[in-house]
Each structure stands twice: as C-alpha cells, then as structure tokens.
C-alpha cells in the first residue's frame, strides 16, 4: 500500500508540450522533494519544499516548476518539453527537523518519455 | 562539490554467497551516508545509515555497512544473500540535511541466482 502516490506511472509527451507530474504523500510529512534519474546518470536532486515553501532549487531551467496546493502535495509542472527531459522523476518526503533521525521515503516514480 | 562513486554497475552472485558492494565518496565535510535499495517496480527504500560512532552499522534484512574515513568509503555487505535481494543498491551522501539534497551514486544492480 504505497504511502507516496505518483501519477501517472508512465507518460509520453511530444516536444514542446507541457505536462504535470502528480505527487501526494500520506505519511504526514512536512517536507517533500523531487529527484530525477536520467539514463546512465545518478538520481539528481531537483527541489525541496518544507511546509509548502521552497527550500532549495538545484534545477537550472525555469521550465520546471513545483506546485504545492496542499501540505501533502508537490506536483511538478514541466513546460516546453525537450527529449533531454526524458527521465524517471521521483517524488520523496520526510519529516523535516529530526536531524540525524530524518529519513527519506520515495514514490515509485513517473517515467517520462519525450518524443 | 561532493560525489559518490559505485564502481560496479552490475554484480551477480549465487544464493547463499556473500555480497560486498563498494562505495567511495568525496566530501570535505562530515558526511552522512546511506544505502538505499530499489526492488523491481518499487520506490527506493532505506537500508541503513551512518552519522557517527561505530563505523559498522547494521541495517535491515541482514545488511551491514562499514564506514572508513581514511579510505572515504562506505561499503555494504551481506553474509548470505537470498534471491529476494536482487535489486539496485544506491550509495548516498548527504551534507547535513535533506533540504539541500542527497547525492546519489549510479547504483549497483545485484542479481542473485539459485
């Protein structure tokens, strides 16, 4: 029974289009994150949010915009899609502020293919 | 800048054999180190973590890892693997808190054969 739900699991898009990746967590966590895994590259940190506020942004492109409408939601809007955006996007969450006891929980990922 | 290197992309072992997965990190500060595992069609799960103290840390399912500051390493071990241990294993480095993002290795795909 997944506690972090990512929708859809698979997504095919055409170059130049816009898509939204959905992430909801039911762990009661106050921090959420997006990571990306491109082919033959390690998982790469993109964004972190705490209490619905942006904490850190390591994504250079403004085409990637996180959206947090509720405390347990952190969607990712991607505009003007490019083939290089093809990757698996992982959402994660944690209970921030626990220091050494903090633990990250990941969703199953959304695999995006841009044609 | 920090980095994590997992030199083995794939490891194949027989069921019941021992397993060691290598991990080297590069970071000038005090590292927080983790091993995460991704089973087929599942999200990543935490196996174990190291912050300080005893350099050998125990994790779930019989896994343990040993931290070495002198070697900048955090190798993962299991004495006797089971077929269900087939998965991708990621060595991960954190600076001081998750808000600044984790640094992942490329992962090692482990295949356990009967």
Which residues of chain A have a pLDDT value below 50? none
How far does the CA of residue A41 sit from the closest CA of chain B (Å)? 6
Q: Looking at residue B48, what is its pLDDT?
A: 94
Higher pLDDT, A102 or B112: B112
Q: Looking at residue A33, what is its pLDDT?
A: 93
Chain B residue closest in CA terms to A108: B43
Is the pLDDT at B51 greater than 90? The verdict is: no
Percent of chain A whose predicted confidence (pLDDT) is above 70: 95
pLDDT in tens, B78-98: 999 999 999 999 999 987 666
Number of inter-chain CB pairs under 8 A, A vs B: 62
A48 exposure class (CB count in 10 Å sphere: 0-12, 13-18, 19+): buried
CA triple B104-A113-A5, angle to 5 deg: 65
Q: Looking at residue B30, what is its pLDDT?
A: 82
A39-48, B60-69, B96-105: lowest mean pLDDT where?
B96-105
Does A2 sit within 8 Å of B101, measured CB to CB?
Answer: no
The candidate with the shortest Cα–Cα distance to A80, out of A19, A20, A16, is A16
> Per-residue pLDDT averaged across B25-39, rounded?
91
Which pair of tokens denotes residue A93? 């969450």
pLDDT in tens, A23-43: 999 999 999 999 999 988 899
Contacts of B106 in chain A (CB under 8 A): 40-42
């Amino acid at each position: 029974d997944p506690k972090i739900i990512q929708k859809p699991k698979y997504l095919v898009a055409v170059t130049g289009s816009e898509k939204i990746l959905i992430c909801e967590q039911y762990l009661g966590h106050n921090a959420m994150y997006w990571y990306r895994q491109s082919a033959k590259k390690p998982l790469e940190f993109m964004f972190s949010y705490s209490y619905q506020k942006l904490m850190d942004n390591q994504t250079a492109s403004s085409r990637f915009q996180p959206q947090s409408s509720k405390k347990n939601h952190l969607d990712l809007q991607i505009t003007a899609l490019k083939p290089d955006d093809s990757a698996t996007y992982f959402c994660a969450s944690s209970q921030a502020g626990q220091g050494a006891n903090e633990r990250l929980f990941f969703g199953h990922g959304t695999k995006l293919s841009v044609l | 800048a920090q980095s994590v290197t997992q030199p083995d992309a794939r490891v194949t072992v027989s069921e019941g054999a021992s397993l060691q997965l290598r991990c080297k990190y590069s970071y000038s500060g005090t590292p927080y180190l983790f091993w995460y595992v991704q089973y087929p069609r599942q999200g990543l799960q935490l196996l174990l973590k190291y912050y300080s103290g005893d350099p050998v840390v125990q994790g779930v399912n019989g896994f343990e890892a040993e931290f070495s500051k002198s070697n900048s390493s955090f190798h993962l071990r299991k004495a006797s693997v089971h077929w269900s241990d087939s998965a991708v294993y990621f060595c991960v480095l954190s600076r001081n808190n998750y808000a600044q993002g984790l640094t992942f290795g490329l992962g090692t795909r482990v295949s356990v054969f009967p």
